[in-house]
Amino acid sequence: MQLEPKEIWRDALSHIQLSISRTHFKAWFSSSSIVSIEDKTITIGAKNKIARAYFEDEFYEVIKSALTTVIKKEPIIKFTVVTAVEKKTVTETSNQADLFDSVVQDSAAAIQNEYMQATQLLGINPKYQFDNFIVGSSNRLAHAAAYAVAQNPGYAYNPLFIYGDVGLGKTHLIQAISNYLLKQDPHYKIVYCSSEVFLNEMVSAIKSQNVEPFRRKYREKQMLIIDDIQFIESKKGTQEEVFHTFNSMYQFNKQIIIVSDRPPEDMPYLEARLRSRFEGGMVVDINKPEYETRLAIIQQKCEEKGYILPEEILHFVAQRFESNIREIEGALTKIGSLTTIGGKEHITLKDAIHLFGGKTNKKNVRIKPNDIINAVCDTYNISLKEIKSAVRTERIAYSRQVAMYLLRTELHMPFIEVAQALNRKDHTTVMHAVTKIENLQESNEETKEEIEELLQMLKG
Ligand code: ADP
Ligand code: MG
């Protein structure tokens, strides 16, 4: 079938954009078109004289090869200038004005798609970006270091060691680095692991007496990120492996990023050579955010969640929760659920105080693993025996996944312990469950509400 000039040019543009830089493509090929096709001669319209000069001098071969691919024979190419005004008067070519945009949009969508897939594969959250990370004096240095690393991996600060208490944004920052790099290049090779994953993979590699593929997997990458390394503090074998991985990656200027809940010098069981490696790079801490930063974070989170709350409630939350941003987010969700589940239209300060109590500290209920498992069984109306059994009907499997998710996110239990609590052998089942329920909460309002209700039930 004969292609229309418009279609030929659209296909050619798709080829061309793969062969030249994005900047050049955007600068010179926007508003370009095929003006005419006569026999073997194709006349290309450039938007101005400079663009035409570029076509003739710089991109002639690229254009010719793209057209040859599309029409499957070698054309003779001529160039002319078609200004925007001229274009408007020619109806046939005016359609072509959109061609460039549609090709650019297609490729932007494809890149976005690839990026989303890459984040999924890596197991990171695309929500954690630099531009929604609020910077204040408590985290300025950590943010600056992370940003520098994202822009110049391997060379800015290597290794980068970030430490601080739970819920202060460490994971957000290191995932922001990954998101930043993957957005530019979805094929950027990162290993992201919580040290438990590292540990578990290593144990099974050693067990199967096959450490080489494991080693290769880590060392072939361009960047290694280990979250919550404190977990391997007293595991000598893993430390050894981390150290070797470290050295071999470091040698080739590959970026290494480590997160911990405390500085290297406070990890007494850590082997001296590993500790001194950590100390040899950049060590930065994240502290508890001060009032203004908390308020800014609260505003940011409300914006993301689409909550419109009165000023006084924002201030109340900033005052009431001082030391953990995850708690702040939990509080906002709870307030938000007054509207979504509680059916309230306007939330008052009184409601908020009622939810969390006044300025006194929240009663310190300590949830135990069994509380979670029981609550899940109650909610989904299944028995303890069923949830721990091998049965995999949809309802039971789903309830089990919810329990795994809550054990992990609420009690921060190691994957392997979560697996054991539910009578499972394999920790990866838990990892999948956590990701699945996290994603479901984003895509499915019902799941989100169920989890919120479960949490309310547990925390009272
Ligand atoms: P950590 O890894 O230190 O325990 P996280 O990175 O998981 O903490 O942060 C907990 C939550 O708080 C996340 O949802 C994160 O987006 C949010 N958060 C922490 N610090 C900031 C910040 N400065 N700006 C915006 N959100 C933040
Ligand atoms: Mg974390």
Give tens-digit pLDDT for 112-166: 888 999 999 898 999 999 999 999 999 999 999 999 999 999 998 999 999 999 9
* Distance (Å) from CA 169 to ligand 2 centroid: 7
Report residue 401 as tokens: 């996944």
| Sign of torsion over alpha carbons 125, 130, 133, 137 | positive
DSSP tally for the chain: helices H, then strands E: 23, 8
Report d(CA 316, CA 324) in Å as an integer. 15
**Average pLDDT in the 45-71 region?**
92
Residue with tokens 């390394």: 229
- Residue 230 above 80 pLDDT? yes
Nearby residues of 420 by Cβ (< 8 Å), 6 or more positions away: none
Point out the least confidently predicted range of 177-186, 267-276, 339-348, 401-410: 339-348
CA 359 centroid distance within chain = 35
* Distance (Å) from CA 174 to ligand 2 centroid: 9
Point out the least confidently predicted range of 192-201, 313-322, 353-362: 353-362
Type of residue found at 2: Q
* Distance (Å) from CA 435 to ligand 1 centroid: 18
| Sign of torsion over alpha carbons 271, 277, 278, 280 | positive
Q: What percent of the chain has pLDDT over 90?
A: 47
Within 6 A (CB) of ligand 1 lie 128, 132-134, 139, 164, 166-172, 297, 300, 325-326, 329
Residue with tokens 């949809």: 394
Q: Average model confidence (pLDDT) for the chain?
A: 87
Best probe residue, ligand 1, of 125, 166, 172 (max atoms within 8 Å of C-beta)? 172
Task: Give the residue, by CA position, lying nearest to ligand 1 atom 14.
Answer: 326
Residue with tokens 């270091």: 145
**Average pLDDT in the 422-441 region?**
91
Report d(CA 194, CA 405) in Å as an integer. 16
* Distance (Å) from CA 118 to ligand 1 centroid: 22
**Could you give the angle at which helices 140-151 and 170-184 cross, rounded to 10 degrees?**
20
Residue 385 in contact with residue 348, Cβ under 8 Å? no
- How would you class 431 by CB atoms within 10 Å of its CB: exposed for 0-12, middle for 13-18, buried for 19 or more? buried
Strand 41-46 and strand 33-38: the pairing is antiparallel
